[in-house]
Amino acid sequence: MKILASDFDGTFYVNSKFSKEDMEAVKKFQEAGHLFGFCTGRPLNGITPFFDQWDFRPDFYIVNTGSVVADRDLSIVLDHRIDSELVKSLLKEYKNEHFFIHSKDNYFTTLPKREDETDDMITHLEDPNVLDHEWINSFSFFFSSTKEAKEHKREIEEKTGLSVYVNNTILDCIPYGCSKATGIDALVDFLKVDPSCVYTIGDSFNDLPMITYNENGFTFPFSPKEVQNQARWIVSNVKECIDKIMEED
C-alpha cells in the first residue's frame, strides 16, 4: 500500500477548479488499494464543502498545516490549539493586516464582507472577544507579496513562539513544533505503516516539510525554485504524480 498526501490550493484545487483527470487518477489510485488524502493549510471545514464535487472520498485529512489530523470518517486523530488571547493581541497589533482564523467549528476573517458574497463558510469577525469560546487551530496573515510575507516571518515567530510558514503571499501560523511533516508522522503512527510508503506533492514553501519528509516528494515546474530544488520529482499535475507512483508497483 502507498499513501499520497496532496496539498490542496495550487496543487489539487487550481484556479478555483478541480481537474477531471486528477480526480479520475485519485479514484483509480484508491481502487488499487492505496490511500489518498489532503495535507493543507485549510481547516476541515474548508475541505468538506467540496465533497459533492468529487466522486471519491479522501482517506485522511492533515489540515491546519499539520496541527489537526482526521481519518476518513472525520474522526480526529490529532488536535493542537493556539491560545485565543495570543490571537486577539495580534489582531490588535496588526490591525491593518487581513487575517483568517481557523477554529474547530468556525472559519473567521477580518476582511470586510462584500455585498455580492455568498460564501456561508466564512464568519466575518466584528468582535474579537467571540474567539474566547473557540478552539483555535491556526490562523493566517495576508500580505501583498511573497517578499513581504518572508520579511515578517521571523518577527511573528519571535513575538508568538508559534511555528510560521510562508504560503505564497500568506503566513500560516500554527502551534509550535507543528508542520505538514509532523501531521504525516501522526498519520503514519495512526495507520501503523512504514514512513517510506508515503508520497507527497505540493507547490509552495509551506509544503517543504512534507516534500522533504522522505525521498518521495513531488512538486511542479511553476513552484518556487527553492521548492523544486528539494523535491525528487517535478510533474505537471496530480495525475502525473499518481502515474509515477503507480509505475513503481
Q: Are 138 and 172 in contact (CB under 8 A)?
A: yes
Per-residue pLDDT of the chain (249 residues; tens, 9 = 90+): 999 999 999 999 999 999 999 999 999 999 999 999 999 999 998 899 999 999 999 999 999 999 999 999 999 999 999 999 999 999 999 888 899 999 988 889 998 766 655 556 788 898 999 999 999 999 998 888 999 999 999 999 999 999 999 988 999 999 999 999 999 999 999 999 999 999 999 999 999 999 999 999 999 999 999 999 999 999 999 999 999 999 986
Task: Give the H/E segment covering residue 107.
Answer: strand 107-109
Q: Mean pLDDT, the chain, as a whole number?
A: 94
SS3 breakdown of the chain: % helix, strand, coil, rounded to 5? 35, 25, 40
Instruction: Name the maximum alpha-carbon separation found in the chain.
Output: 54
Residue 99's SS3 state is strand
Beta bridge partner(s), residue 173: 139, 164
Q: Measuring CA to CA, which residue among 11, 10, 8, 3 is closest to residue 240?
A: 11
Task: Give the H/E segment covering residue 30.
Answer: helix 20-31
Q: What is the DSSP string of 139-175?
A: EEEE-SSHHHHHHHHHHHHHHH--EEEEETTEEEEES
CB proximity list for 118: less than 8 A, separation 6 or greater:
none
How far does CA 19 lie from the centroid of its chain? Answer: 19
Helix-helix angle 84-93:146-160, to 10 degrees: 130
Domains defined along the chain, listed by start: 3-79+178-247 (3.40.50.1000), 84-174 (3.30.1240.10)
pTM: 0.93
